[in-house]
Amino acid sequence: MHTPTSPHQIWDNLQQGSTALDEQDPEVLCFIEHMRQKYPPGSRVLDAGCGRGRYASVWQALGFTVHGCDLSLAAIQLAQVHSHLRSLAIRYEVADLRHLPYEKQSFRFALCTRVLPYHFKADMLSSLHELWRVLEPDGWLYLDLLDRYDSEYGMGQEVEPMTFLDTAGMPTHFSSGSEIKAALRGFAIERMQRLEQAGESHTRAIWTIWARKITTKR
Ligand SMILES: C[S@@+](CC[C@H](N)C(=O)[O-])C[C@H]1O[C@@H](n2cnc3c(N)ncnc32)[C@H](O)[C@@H]1O
């Protein structure tokens, strides 16, 4: 009998086998640097879907208080090893973005990069609600999503509008600008760009978004 693979197993498999931290994206570094100039050291940051911690360590080195959470135990263990080797005081937890284990208004910043496209739309929306909940009023979210002009659009089986399932059972959702604006209820979108990044095998088309929490009810 074929047993469906759960999302954390898929991510565990992807995260295992590589111990290197990937290159950092200039867009994300620009957000972090902007916030460093604007806010005092010590402000609390959540790296949501932190993977092996390639950005958690950047925030921490700049003096922020950092939590990283991820669905994948393998990713969290690798992040903890990197953090331990470099004597970084980052708190890493296994957690699902759809049900974050933090009190409301716990963080000034949330970074969620290369995570939400790999969800069904309803799960993406639940995760955004959770990110909104755990941010302080006026707190900032950095988010990226895939645009339909990405060259992987249409690969796999379309299981709901703009969401495609690959053979491992991983969904990839592509977002339109209007969908993003509707999904970010309770936030002011301070910056939203559509970028194309040509890689060896395909062209990534991504939205990068900086959003500020503006309401305490949603
Ligand atoms: C492509 S990796 C990106 C990791 C990291 N944000 C980075 O940029 O290096 C996607 C990560 O999101 C995590 N993830 C996927 N769905 C998640 C969820 N619902 N809750 C928490 N983490 C999730 C995966 O386990 C994986 O580590």
| Domain range annotation of the chain | 7-13+24-213
User: What pLDDT score does 1 carry?
Assistant: 44
Taking the CB of residue 138, how many other CB atoms lie within 10 A of it?
A: 10
Helix axes 7-15, 73-85, angle to 10 degrees: 40
Q: Which two tokens stand for residue 17?
A: 């086998």
Question: How many whole angstroms from 182 Cα to the centroid of ligand 1?
Answer: 23
As its CATH architecture, domain 7-13+24-213 has 3-Layer(aba) Sandwich (3.40)
Q: Which residues line ligand 1 (CB under 6 A)?
A: 7, 11, 15, 22, 49-51, 54, 70-72, 75, 96-98, 113-115, 118
Per-residue pLDDT, averaged over 75-92, amounts to 90
Alpha-carbon span 29 to 21, nearest angstrom: 15
Which pLDDT value is given to residue 12?
79
pLDDT for res 82: 87
CA distance 180 to 63: 31
**What integer pLDDT is reported at residue 52 of this predicted model?**
93
More confident residue, 10 or 207: 207
- On average, the pLDDT of the chain sits at 92
Reduce the DSSP state of residue 78 to 3 states and report it.
Answer: helix
Asked whether residue 3 carries a pLDDT value surpassing 60, the answer given is no
Is the per-residue pLDDT at 13 higher than 90? no
pLDDT score for 18: 59
pLDDT of 107 reads 98
DSSP string, 139-205: EEEEEEEEETTSTTTT-SEEEETTEEE-TTS-EEEEE-HHHHHHHTTTEEEEEEEEEEEE-SS-EEE
Cα(38) to ligand 1 centroid in Å equals 27
- Rounded CA gap, 28 and 87, in Å? 23
CB 7 within 8 A of CB 170: yes
Q: Which two tokens stand for residue 179?
A: 């969908």
What's the 119 CA to ligand 1 centre distance in angstroms?
10
> 3-state class of 14 per DSSP?
helix
Ligand 1, atom 14, lies closest to the CA of 49
